[in-house]
Amino acid sequence: MDTTRTATEKRNLESVFNFLRRIGARISTVDKLEEEQYRLREGFDRYHVEVIEDKAPDRIFGNLREDSSINLNFFEASVQRTQLVGHFLYDGYEIPAHYCIIGALILERQGRRFRVWEKPKTLECILAPKKFLADSEELINAYGQDASVPFFDSGGVDLDYTQLRIAAVNFARTKKWDLRSELIQQWNFVNGGKGNLLLINDTILAVSNLRLTYEVAGFVKMTYVPFKGRENLPIFLSLDAYKRGVVMKIEEPSNPESVKYSWFLRLRDPYGQSPEFGLVRIEIVAKSDNEAISKANELSEAIARERLPVTYPATDWDKLIFPHKLAEQYVESLFPTRETIRAYFRFA
């Protein structure tokens, strides 16, 4: 057992518990994370999507006998866990308090082995709406940025318990995007322009193009396209196995630097399964529409190969490639489990 890590976990949990006691909160130990309770799509309606390709190529991708021009050896994964740990009263209304865990790392593949690239980025923090806290400035001073578990204002201005919980998850999501952006920028500085590809296990829409290069791609498991203009998209749920859909342009009209390109790719044969089985969406940046279409073929070839080895029986294995599974397991191992957190607050 790693005694240093155990001591750190205990110290951090004690810090959160002392914060709850200081604000007079009652302990909550719910089963589910807030990310599992609320499927968040806020903010995506500011993007617009349009098709830039007449039709997708009638081609099977992922043929293991073909050479690929893409050097896909870097894989990013992150964790975001917003756990309700307490609640307190404000004028008779219940107000939630959360313990939030965020982490991001990149795995580098060298031959048949993986190693952690540089250092993971991690953050453990306490989230509560500052507006409803007495002595909030004193709390900010006591639990500042230099604290092992700092306190952040989760936002939320309405005395609505559910909306305050959603506000905490939204805040955590923003923090995760910030952490990931820092990691990507660091990777770009070292590896940009060397022909490598970094595959992010999530959307990259929230990452500024100024922090991206043409060697970073997003790997999105959600098939719903929550953007304006989606009613004009062709049918993609019937996409055949190992084929890609048409290339789309996604942009925020008010931000000309936000343009990204995307397409669907079917990693598994959906026969006997749901229409979403094995269907992922890839996101990239490109200099032009034509370049995006060319890169769609190159990346589809490289990413489709990652379907082997199969990660079954892992959760959502049909959309989970092996390097991302390893990265997720590693980043999760850096923090106490949700069960450990629940047990601590239940018996504290």
Please, are residues 260 and 245 in contact by the beta-carbon 8 Å criterion?
Answer: no
- pLDDT tops 90 at residue 26: yes
Total count of residues recorded for the chain = 348
- How far from 226 is each of 42, 49, 204, 248, CA to CA, in Å? 9, 9, 15, 13
Chain-wide mean pLDDT for the chain?
92
State mean pLDDT over 17-22. Answer: 94
* Residue range 208-259, pLDDT digits in tens: 888 888 899 999 999 989 899 999 999 999 999 999 999 999 999 988 888 9
Residue 113 three-state SS: strand
- pLDDT tops 70 at residue 67: no
Give the model's pLDDT for residue 304. Answer: 95
Please, are residues 130 and 95 in contact by the beta-carbon 8 Å criterion?
Answer: no
- The token duo for 227 is 């953007």
97 contact partners, CB below 8 Å, separation of at least 6: 19, 20, 23, 25, 84, 85, 86, 87, 88, 126, 127, 128
* Residue range 256-277, pLDDT digits in tens: 888 999 999 999 999 999 999 9
CA dihedral 275, 276, 277, 280 (to 10 degrees): 140
The C-alpha atoms of residue 227 and residue 47 are separated, in whole angstroms, by: 5
Q: Which amino acid, one-letter code, is at 149?
A: V
Share above pLDDT 70 across residues of the chain, in percent, rounded to a whole number: 97
Greatest C-alpha distance within the chain: 68
Give the model's pLDDT for residue 41. Answer: 65
Beta strands 248-252; 48-51: pairing state = antiparallel
Which residue, 233, 225, 221, is CA-closest to 277?
Answer: 221
- pLDDT tops 60 at residue 65: no
Q: Which amino acid, one-letter code, is at 242?
A: Y
- pLDDT tops 90 at residue 84: yes
- pLDDT tops 60 at residue 136: yes
The C-alpha atoms of residue 282 and residue 218 are separated, in whole angstroms, by: 6
State mean pLDDT over 116-134. Answer: 95
- pLDDT tops 70 at residue 331: yes
- Residue 119: beta bridge partners? none
Give the model's pLDDT for residue 328. Answer: 96
Give the model's pLDDT for residue 314. Answer: 93
Q: Which amino acid, one-letter code, is at 217?
A: A
Question: Looking at residue 240, what DSSP letter applies?
Answer: P
Residue with tokens 């890839």: 282
Give the H/E segment covering residue 331. helix 322-332
> Model's pTM, two decimal places?
0.93
Give the model's pLDDT for residue 57. Answer: 94
